[in-house]
Amino acid sequence: MPVLPEPILRVENAVKHYPISRGVLLPKKVGAVKAVDGVSFELRPGETLGLVGESGCGKSTLAKLLMRLETPTAGRAYLKGHDLFRMRAGDLRRLRRSMQMVMQDPYTSLNPRMTVADIVGEPFDIHPEAAPKGNRDQAVRELLDQVGLSPEHANRYPHQFSGGQRQRIGIARALALRPEVIICDEPVSALDVSVQAQVVNLLERLQDELGLAYIFIAHDLSVVRHISDRIAVMYLGRIVETGTSDQVYLRPTHPYTQALLSAVPVPDPTARSRRQIIRLTGDVPSPADPPSGCRFRTRCWKAQPRCASEEPPLSQRAVDPHPSACHYAELHQVIA
C-alpha cells in the first residue's frame, strides 16, 4: 500500500457547547446546546473532505471552531502540528495564513462599500509580511485572473457582479495569502445549478494547480460526491459515518446515511423505480437534550433497547471496512 502523507490538519474530540441560562440579575446555567459534541478527523495535503448532514447538525459550527471564530469548549485541532485551540492571538494570526475560508453567502460576505481590489487585497493589510514585494495592484489582478474574472473589473463594487462572480471574488480573497487549507462552508448553496458546476470546477482546478486541501461543507450530496475524496456524515453534533466517497455513497452502513442517500434524485427512470426510499419519522431531537445512547435511535427503524443504553462508537464494522457509529450497521447497496 502507498504511504500516505502526514495530515496537515488533525482534529481530536472537538466540542462546542453553548450555555443555556435563566434569570436576569443573576443568570444561572441550566443546560447547554451541544452543537459539536466530540468530532475527530484528519485532512491530508491535497485532499478534499466532504462534510454532510441536515441543517443544525453542527457543520458550520465546526468550521467556525477551526477558524477560531468560535471559542471551543474542549478538544484539540492541530494545523501543521500547532494546536489551534490553545494558541495565543498573535501566534494564531500568523497561522491563519495557512487556513482560509470561503463563506456560504456571496451576497453578504463581501463589504458593499469596498471595491473588489480592496476586498481581495485586504489580507495583505492584515498580514503585511505576506504582501507581494512588487506591485500590490498587479498581485490583485493576477488573483482575479486566476479565478476567472477580468482584472479590468478590479475597481468595481460587489453589487455590480452576479452571485457566481461574487463567490469567485471570495475565493480570490481566500487565495491571497497562499493557504494550504481552505474551508468551503456551503460555497454553492446560494447559486444556480449551472453556476454551481462552474464554481466546483474552479475549486478542483485550483486544487490541482496549488495543492490545496479542502473541507467542503454542503447539503447537496451529489455535489459533495463529485468533489470529495472522503466523506464525513454528521448528525446532531457527531460524525456517524466516514469513508471514501465510493464507500459512503455506494456502500453506506449507517441508517442515517442510507436515508440521506435515498433522497438524492436519480435521473434514470428505471433506476428510480428500483430504488428504496427511506422516509424518516419524527423530528430531529434538540441538541440541548440529545437522546441517550445512539442519537439517531429516535428516528431509526433498526433501534433496539441496546441503542438507548449504549452509545455506538465510530469504528470499523464487519460488513464494510469504513467506520460507522451503529450497533446494527448493515451494508446497503445504493442504486445510483
Question: How much is the pLDDT for 271?
Answer: 62
Is residue 335, in this structure, part of any structural domain at all? yes
Which residues share a beta bridge with 52? 233
Q: Determine the pLDDT at residue 26.
A: 82
12 bridge partner residues: 76
In a domain, 182, yes or no: no
Q: Is residue 205 part of a domain?
A: no
* Length of the chain counted residue by residue: 336
Q: Is residue 78 part of a domain?
A: no
The pLDDT assigned to 135 comes to 85
Residue 86: inside a domain: no
Structure confidence at residue 192 (pLDDT):
87
Q: Give the number of C-alpha atoms closer than 13 A to the C-alpha of residue 314, restricted to the C-beta side.
A: 16
* Residue 311 within a domain: yes
Question: Structure pTM?
Answer: 0.92
Q: Which pLDDT score, from 0 to 100, does residue 105 have?
A: 87
Does residue 266 form part of some domain?
yes
| DSSP secondary structure code for residue 267 in this structure | S
Q: What is the pLDDT of residue 2?
A: 60
CA atoms of 194 and 74, how far apart (whole Å): 41
Pairing of strands 320-324, 74-79: unpaired
Count of other CB atoms within 10 angstroms of residue 280? 18
Number of domains in the chain: 1
> Sheet holding 28-43: strands in order across?
28-43, 9-22, 74-79, 82-83
What is the residue-wise DSSP string for 290-321? Answer: PPSSSTTGGG-TT--HHHHHSPPPSEEETTEE
Tell me the pLDDT of the chain (336 aa) as tens digits. Answer: 566 789 999 999 999 999 999 888 788 888 999 999 999 999 999 999 999 998 889 999 999 999 999 999 999 999 999 999 999 988 998 899 999 999 988 888 899 999 999 999 999 999 988 888 778 899 999 999 999 999 999 999 999 999 999 999 999 999 999 999 999 999 998 888 889 999 999 999 999 999 999 999 988 788 898 899 999 999 999 999 999 999 999 899 999 999 998 887 776 666 666 677 788 888 889 999 999 999 999 999 999 999 999 999 998 876 778 999 999 988 765 545
Question: Which range of residues forms the domain containing residue 278?
Answer: 240-336
Indicate whether 215 belongs to any domain: no
